[in-house]
Amino acid sequence: MSADRGQEEKRCQGMAAAPGIARGPVHVFSIENDDVVRYHVDSAHIPDEIARFESGLIQTRAQILEMQQQIAEAIGAKDAGIFDAHLLVVEDQTLIDEVLRRLETEHCNVEYAFQEVANRYVESLSKIDDPYLRERALDIQDVSRRVIRNLQGKTPRPFLSIEEPHILIAHNLTPSDTATMNREYVRGFALDLGSQTSHTAIMARSLGIPAVVGLRNATEILETGVPALIDGYHGLLIIHPSEQTLREYEELEREKGALAARLTKLRETKSTTRDGRHVVLSANIELPDEIDSVLANGAEGVGLYRTEFLYLNQPTLPSEEEQFEIYRSVAQRLAPDPLIIRTLDLGGDKISENIESGDELNPFLGWRAIRFCLENIHIFKAQLRAILRASVGANIKIMFPMISGLDEVRRGCEVLEECKQELRCEGRGFDDGLEIGIMIEVPTAAIMADRLAREVDFFSIGTNDLIQYAIAIDRTNERVAHLYEPSHPSVVRLLKMVADAAHANNIWVGVCGEMAGEVLFTPLLLGLGMDELSASATIVPRVKSAVQALTSAECRQLLDEVLELDTPAAILERCTAMAQRHYPELIG
């Protein structure tokens, strides 16, 4: 693509949803809604409408499963799991029952009844002040559009079958749109709406399609055919890019390609600083099939296994036996590297339909994690027994989440001891010496870390929640999310307090929050004395490269300087300067 002569370059800032650079003419796309006409249905024909509805749901489910299989074969089962949410919509008994009630009471055609019910769900979710739940409204829209076309006897609409390279501009896209777009011709896409946590963004990252979201009005100001460039690293859509801009981005592409090739070669190397200090680099996982990525990226085991995902979107609670088989399988694949299993952390934004939690005004500060487990001993014990049984011949460690004080630690350990005694009586084996740790996420736990360290074998700092609670910031609230600052002086002091307390009591300390994967903060975390960093598997090579470029001495010097600074901006500037000096290619 060459620059448009005589046209002034214009830059639109959005959010980076999927990394990469794409160039080409834009195609502005708008979804054509299928018209649904209401008509009267006699009582005698209501059974026919119900049969048509059942057939439409079955057909839709089959289409979703087929699409899920195609994605699994192309990019893996984990990414195909995104469509589990779509399957739940066509299997949602509450939604189905409401459609059936409308058929009986309003005597209307089923596609109209279904559209009305689905639209009400979408409208309700769209009003919730939570980006994640608002994105789930898009899932319902996606499925309802497919159901209605099936009810109308129409074939699934092929998504944007343009057979020439282009950049797609749309108000919003569904995961189905993203999964079925022709990747040979769609170079990248930019959306008015969307967030970095949306299923569409996740799908774009998995498919390797550069994407920018949150542009607000791109579909209104652009016309099809205009030359553009997408910068998926920095969230930029550049219209009429100049020759200079095109040259700069060609050079950036060459640099990124070379960096990716170099990082791939780090798989078998150790995360050791230039002066010989080894820092354990682990991976965070949610699902068993992510172990492939853990191994491929050279992580030294799993530093955080989020087990609550075994409990979500399931018709029943997982049994002890089911959990045992899963934990054992994961641990065996990792051996001899460790698997650190976090006990159930339901609550907050992770709610299971099998557990009655009631309405809470602030669920993030409510009945969740260890608090929930200690009041649901039968659920807690089933998990602890499964973990203990899986520990035979494996390197499994266990940690309790959201600890706020000594009583919770001691009670959790008491329940664990009860499980051990039960297994002894049953003649079942387990590793009696498996390490027990706690998550440091609540400020009270950080403040009294010196006392907590006497009770456990290790600390793992969940920086996401610790920062959120320490600064009183809801990081999902768009109005205040910009105040969520890992470089806040108080956060640095809390981290130092935890690390110092751990080492004074001869236990190790790690970081498993997002901060562990941000290479800007790698020097600071090393300076604080963190023994382990655990991040998403795909980020591990970047962190490893950063560690290998540093020395312990200069990281400790950075910490001394940072502790004299008073603002988040000043601390971030100092950390950025050090990262820029040692590995600019990782932060460019």
Task: Report the catalytic residues.
Answer: 199, 512
CA-based torsion, 178, 182, 183, 187: positive or negative: negative
The two tokens of residue 416 are 């664990």
The burial class, CB within 10 Å (0-12 / 13-18 / 19+), for 19 is: middle
Whole-angstrom distance, CA of residue 362 vs CA of residue 315: 26
Q: Which positions ≥6 away from 503 have C-beta within 8 Å?
A: 509, 529
Helices 110-126 and 93-106 pack at an angle, to 10 degrees, of 130
Whole-angstrom distance, CA of residue 242 vs CA of residue 5: 8
Which one, of 194, 162, 123, 152, lies nearest residue 27 by Cα? Answer: 162
The b/e string for 310-329 (b: 16+ C-beta within 10 A; e otherwise) is bbeeeeebbeeeebbbbbbe
Q: Which positions ≥6 away from 570 have C-beta within 8 Å?
A: none
Please provide the distance, in angstroms rounded to a whole number, between the alpha carbons at the two ends of the chain: 24
How large is the C-alpha radius of gyration of the chain?
26
| C-beta of residue 558 within 8 angstroms of C-beta of residue 523 | yes
The two tokens of residue 437 are 């740790």
What are 347's strand-pairing partners? 350
DSSP secondary structure letter of residue 42: -
Residue 349 Cα distances to 130, 176, 261, 357, 537, angstroms: 9, 24, 37, 12, 23
